Amino acid sequence: MHRCSWVEGKPDFYIAYHDQVWGNPCHNDHDLFKWLLLEMFHTGLSWQLVLSKEANFRQAFDNYDYQAISQYDVTKLEELCDNPKIIRNRRKIESAVLNAQAFLKVQADYGSFDRFIWSFSREKVVKRQTGTLVPKRTPLSDQVTQALKKYGFKQIGSVTIYSYLQAIGVVNDHDLACDFR
């Protein structure tokens, strides 16, 4: 099978992410929150590091239950900050709680986060054009970032959101020769 060049030589969990998640349209609010939380923790770090800790994040953050996360108190925040199995950045951990609260606000306004996030591409997958390089950000990621910030999302920027849009399949940037395109 032909895969994207960036996955060559990567561990099995990374290849599985490429093959099963990246660029595949996601419409489940639980999974949409999961990838948003992980992308936020990815900021400034390698994606391989974050993916290698995914099971630990799942356990530490109540299986990515955004309703539970939105209610975390100081005791839970301290527990997370002391957890050596996850990325222990206090600002990111606090932002996970704020982002869960903002996620709920979006759901209240749109009926689902899925409806909100896919509205920016008019429910269509954006595919990379022949011969173009994968950008780090686009006008689409700028627009989504601005809308998320209005809802109170933290620790996100256009580069992080572009990566998120790739993860959830709003953007499909698989190499043109990749069998998973």
CA distance 53 to 113: 25
123 catalytic residue (yes or no): no
Identified catalytic residue from 14, 22, 35, 47? 47
Rounded to 10 deg, the angle between the 74-81 and 90-110 helix axes is: 130
94 catalytic residue (yes or no): no
CA distance 61 to 59: 6
CA distance 169 to 167: 6
Identified catalytic residue from 17, 35, 118, 164? 17
First to last CA, the chain: 12
Identified catalytic residue from 22, 35, 39, 164? 39
17 catalytic residue (yes or no): yes
Catalytic residues: 17, 39, 47
